Amino acid sequence: MHRRQKPSAPEHKRDLAARGGALSMSHSDTRSFFNFSQLVLSAGHLKSPPVLKHSKITYFEVEILDMQSKKQICIVDKLPPSSTLLDVKHKFHKACPQWYPSRVGLQLERNGPYLKDSVNIQSLAVSSIITLYFTDLGQQVGWTTFFLTEYTGPLLIYLLFYIRLSTIYDQVESTKSLRHPVVHLACFCHCTHYIRRLLETLFVHKFSGGHTPMKNMIKGCAFYWGFTSWIAYYINHPQYTPPSFGHRQVFLAALAFLMCEAGNHFINVALAHQNNSGNKACLPSPTYNPFTWLFLLVSCPNYTYEVGSWISFTVMTQTLPAGIFAFLMVIQMSLWARKKHKVYLKRFYPEMGRKAAMIPIIF
């Protein structure tokens, strides 16, 4: 039998040191792996860097030609798809400062309608290049300015005739004759009508920033101001003859006038409330207010009340100029009512029923 030789003391120490070093190395590796795993868990999931997506935006180019000569005026480029026609007009104004955006008329075809400012250019595009035809609309005014100017004139002009200026009437004759009560009542009704219109222009009607040519305002002012001068001259004249049926005729006509004015106001408020609520896709309908129940019979009751006011004013004053003005207002209002009635028929045919445009059965 062979005896196992015992290691010597130096070899035994080296062996113990090697085993201790191996144990210490395995212990340190375990501790470092534990620390690394804790670090990964505290940091959360490892995320790969985001991939950058290169989006392609198609820009449009608008070529603007003169409608008469077909010559190119300018090119508006680098328009994003979200641009509207108003953006095109602003850039066109920068290139051609003599044409303000409000007087620029743009058409897709030479004989086509003028495009609205809210039209998106992407809806017009067949390719990246859009061709539009330019027309100078002339000097423009805003709708608020238009109506304020048109209605302020009759209010002031009538008052000038009411106080009987010496440059208009003979002062001796004016001092001798006493005014009939209908003269004062007519002034009150006439001023009430135009004050209502001015207040509704400022606080009821909401205009979308549109414009109209200056010549339209001149024509409107000539019509209203001219007829106001003619009507006021006869009613406030010292030789004015009162109505044939006396106070009863005046009282009933004045009452009808005030009711038509109230009805017109409440109809305009109802229409403005509908537009402000954003529900333009529904047919105007009556509310709890009895003055709006006329919606059940006609589609444009505001024109009905407007005509009723001037017919009542004519009966109250019994003057020829007021009668001619009321007759012209009936014609104009009936044309506007029929135009709006056709739009309602196209959009709300089942709901319209047998409504008339302005006056039941007649219009």
pLDDT tens, position by position, 69-112: 989 999 998 889 889 999 999 999 999 998 889 899 999 998 88
Say yes or no to pLDDT of 49 above 90. no
pLDDT of residue 50 exceeding 60, the answer is no
Range in 121-130, 156-165, 235-244 with the lowest mean pLDDT:
121-130
Instruction: Judge contact between 306 and 329, C-beta under 8 A.
Output: yes
- The residue with greater pLDDT, 186 or 283, is 186
Find the mean pLDDT for residues 25-41.
53
Gap between the Cα atoms of 249 and 317, Å rounded? 9
- pLDDT over 70 (residue 44): no
Question: Would you state the pLDDT for residue 1?
Answer: 41
- Say whether pLDDT at 18 is over 80: no
Report pLDDT for 200. 97
Q: Where are the domains of the chain?
A: 60-138, 141-241, 243-362
Say what the pTM is: 0.78
Please tell me the predicted confidence (pLDDT) of residue 215: 93
In the prediction, which pLDDT does 355 show?
87
pLDDT for residue 22: 46
Q: What is the model's pLDDT at position 314?
A: 98
pLDDT score of 93? 93
Alpha helices in the chain (DSSP H): 9-43, 85-95, 143-162, 171-176, 181-203, 214-235, 246-276, 301-317, 320-347, 349-352
Segment 49-55 mean pLDDT: 51
Residue 53 pLDDT > 90: no
Confidence of residue 278 (pLDDT cuts 50, 70, 90): low
Torsions phi, psi for 186 (to 5 deg):
-65, -40
Q: Check pLDDT > 50 for residue 16.
A: no
Which of the two residues, 26 and 327, has the higher pLDDT score? 327
Per residue in 179-221, pLDDT (tens digit) is 999 999 999 999 999 999 999 999 999 887 678 999 999 999 9
Residues 295-322: what's their mean pLDDT? 96
CA–centroid distance for 251 within its chain = 40
Q: What is the pLDDT of residue 11?
A: 52
63: its two tokens: 């070529």
Averaged confidence pLDDT in the chain: 85
Beta bridge partners of 63: 75, 131
- pLDDT of 42 strictly over 60: no
Q: What is the mean pLDDT of residues 147-156?
A: 97
Distances (CA, A) of 201 to 48, 143, 198, 207, 229: 62, 9, 5, 9, 23
* The pLDDT of residue 362: 61
Token pair recorded at residue 140: 């423009």
311 vs 125, more confident = 311
The Cβ of residue 193 has, within 10 Å, a number of other Cβ atoms equal to 23
Q: What is the pLDDT of residue 35?
A: 58
Closest CA to 302 of 328, 341, 348, 276: 341
Grade residue 31 by pLDDT with cuts at 50, 70 and 90: low
- Of 284, 280, 258, the closest CA to residue 270 belongs to 284
Phi, psi dihedrals of residue 23, rounded to the nearest 5°: -65, -40
What CATH number labels 60-138?
Answer: 3.10.20.90
